[in-house]
A and B are shown apart, each in its own frame.
Chain A
Amino acid sequence: MKVGCYIGGIYPRSDRLIEATRRNPPNLSEISRRDKERVINLQIKAGLTYISDPLLDWSDMLRPYLAFKGVEQGALNRIFEQNTFYRMPIVVDRVEWVEPITLRSLSIDLLPKGRDWKVDLPDPYTFAQLSDNRYYLDKRDLVLDLAKAMGREAETLQKHFRFIQINAPSICRIRSREELDLASEALKTVTKGLSAKTYLHLYFGDPAPILSDLLSFPVNGLGLDLVNVKLPKGLRFGKMGLAAGCVDAGNTKMEKPKKVAEEVKRVVDAIEPSELYICPNYDLEYVPRAYANRKVLTLSKIAKLLREEMGG
């Protein structure tokens, strides 16, 4: 089985960048780019399968998309059960895509030539759940308009990126057929016709009760938080790939690669995914930079052990 590894979402800023952003010197963007280069070089050194922009200049995962027509910036709100906050999007008019947003919010010129690149996108259902809808009478219409807008984003991204991680924490909490169908329909709009590989990442909640339904979602794989979630017995992934979130982005305690590799192997043997990626359970920005760096190297070691074991 093929075993890859990657990181996703927002990476922690270095102390230097935090301090520089506070002071806002004229060369701030240069300091930020140098910091990004360090994280990109770390990913290369660690041998990650896909290299991504660490999004050091993003304030939260939804912030760039406040530029969608019809969306404004709202109050600070807690990101699920984290002590980190995002600006809640306020939907004040029909949501429409106007121009590429993700692409202009990345530093793709820093990404290494000759390597495969990866990018993050918010899932439309999650975006709607985390927004304050003051326009649409029916949430379904909002989700589907967001899906169209995200679909346009995905289209522009696939020219550059081989892998799109779709972040969908709100889907973990769905417990009704109607909502599941809505989330799936929205994703279909985003992923339809894409050549890039798409993985739906589920974290900040327990998707176990709906996992069998998620196996038919229109993506190539599921990213699961194996640190906090126990998978139900009897599940078979079949054509679906697994991104095993087995490195804890919520704690500084360092994983023991051999022990984690054994645990992941047990999961893989049980659910038989089509392919396997090793990753953190969510964005590493929830631990300080030095610990995040060590965790990147740790996940690389876990992937190496699994490759040796599974021949990927």
Chain B
Amino acid sequence: MNKLYPTQEIGSLKKPEWFLKIIRDKRVSEEAKKAARDDLAYLNIRLLEDCGLDYVYDGEARRPEMYEYVVKNVGGFRLAGWVRSFDNRYYRKARVVDRVTYLGPYHLDEFVFVAKHARRMVKIPVTGPYTLADWSYNEYYRSKEDLVFDLAKNIIRPLLKDLASAGAKVIQIDEPAATTHPGETSLFVEAFNEAVAGVDAKITVHICYSGNQYRPLFPEALDMKCSQFTLEFANRDTTRLGLDKESRVGYQALNLFREYGDRREVGVGVVDVHVDSVEPPELIRDRILYAAKVLEDPKRVYVNPDCGLRTRSRSVAFAKLRNLCLGSELARSADPVS
């Protein structure tokens, strides 16, 4: 994209109550539920575009969650129950009880719908093989490695190819677990490359809440077949304005790209998805400009929230996204290295 500081969302948005009532109501027909999913997807696309984002999707309107949706649509998994992510946020974790099998392109219908209705560029999020394995209880495979590679080659790669064939131009592989086990970075990278091998699309990777400032990713990440790292930073930053290192303490991991000579794009998380306070555009501007300064090239900077916004109310989420776009506009009109 030629525009400086293109804006993008990461994935999920909170589902509204009216939608959940319909989906949970056993008396409502499947046809009516499908119509509700279409309505929400359409609404999300329009709202994301109205915020001013350059890359949009449907807020993952059809997916209960980035992990659960996948394991329900891939053979070999059985849902076990709720496990805490943080506070009272839980996700349903699955057991791997048999060899994983591809039952079909589980994101294809939603992608076709979004592609038909979106007026901006479409970026589809797809949960990656390493995260799917890491978030599951392996009761079947002899090793985690066997499970990860089976998922990469026989589940994710066919899915990505099916999506690319259907017209997906930008695919974001979600790998929040990538830095969970610093000793497994090679496994993560090799599996990632297996998954995207031969896929004709721009591939980006989203990683978040590393806890170790993404350091375990390097140097192995230099071999990853992707054009962009979309990362979380705002969660660890101060809310002071400024382009100094102390004010932008949350963004020090960007130095890794400079340290290792990695010149690829970085999707920079500029809003915290775990707090309700809405970051002012000026703060977002400073975070963007600081990233441009560290990465030594404003063209490498994409702008996004830290992660999906599903934990925030829709009003907070859209307020954050609107300010994200306003902050990007301010950054565009500023001197990027001042």
- The 0/1 profile, CB within 8 Å of A marked 1, for residues 149-192 of chain B is 00000000000000000000000000011001110000000000
Question: Which residues on the A side are within 8 Å of B95 (C-beta)?
Answer: 252-253
Q: Give CA–CA (A86, B89) in the complex, Å.
A: 12
A43 to chain B, nearest CB (A): 20
Partner of A75, one of B138, B182, B235: B235
Partner of A85, one of B80, B85, B88, B212: B85
Question: Which residues on the A side are within 8 Å of B88 (C-beta)?
Answer: 13, 18, 21-22, 59
Question: Which residues on the B side are within 8 Å of A94 (C-beta)?
Answer: none
Known interface pairs A75-B236, A77-B211, A83-B180; A59-B138 also in contact (CB < 8 Å): no
**What size tier do the contact residues of chain A reach?**
20 to 34
A55 to chain B, nearest CB (A): 12
B220 contacts A by Cβ under 8 Å:
no
Closest partner residue, chain B, to A60 (CB atom): B86
| Contact across chains for B209 and A291 when beta carbons are under 8 A apart | no
Q: Which residues in chain B, 80-111, are within 8 Å of chain A measured between CB atoms?
A: 80-88, 90, 93, 95
Partner of A289, one of B81, B134, B209: B81
| Contact across chains for B86 and A287 when beta carbons are under 8 A apart | no
Question: Which residues on the B side are within 8 Å of A75 (C-beta)?
Answer: 235-236, 274
| Contact across chains for B86 and A288 when beta carbons are under 8 A apart | no
Question: Which residues on the A side are within 8 Å of B83 (C-beta)?
Answer: 12, 83-84, 285-288
Q: Give CA–CA (A218, B158) in the complex, Å.
A: 57
Q: Which residues in chain A, 51-81, are within 8 Å of chain B measured between CB atoms?
A: 59-60, 75-78, 81
A113 to chain B, nearest CB (A): 31
Q: Which residues in chain A, 74-119, are within 8 Å of chain B measured between CB atoms?
A: 75-78, 81-87
B137 contacts A by Cβ under 8 Å:
yes
| Contact across chains for A81 and B180 when beta carbons are under 8 A apart | yes
B57 to chain A, nearest CB (A): 23
Q: Give CA–CA (A286, B210) in the complex, Å.
A: 19
- The 0/1 profile, CB within 8 Å of B marked 1, for residues 152-184 of chain A is 000000000000000000000000000000000
Closest 10 CB pairs of A and B: A288-B81, A78-B211, A85-B86, A252-B137, A21-B88, A253-B139, A59-B87, A75-B235, A77-B211, A81-B181
A-B contact pairs, 14 of them (CB 8 A): A13-B90, A15-B82, A18-B88, A75-B235, A75-B236, A78-B180, A78-B212, A83-B176, A253-B95, A253-B139, A285-B84, A286-B83, A288-B82, A288-B83
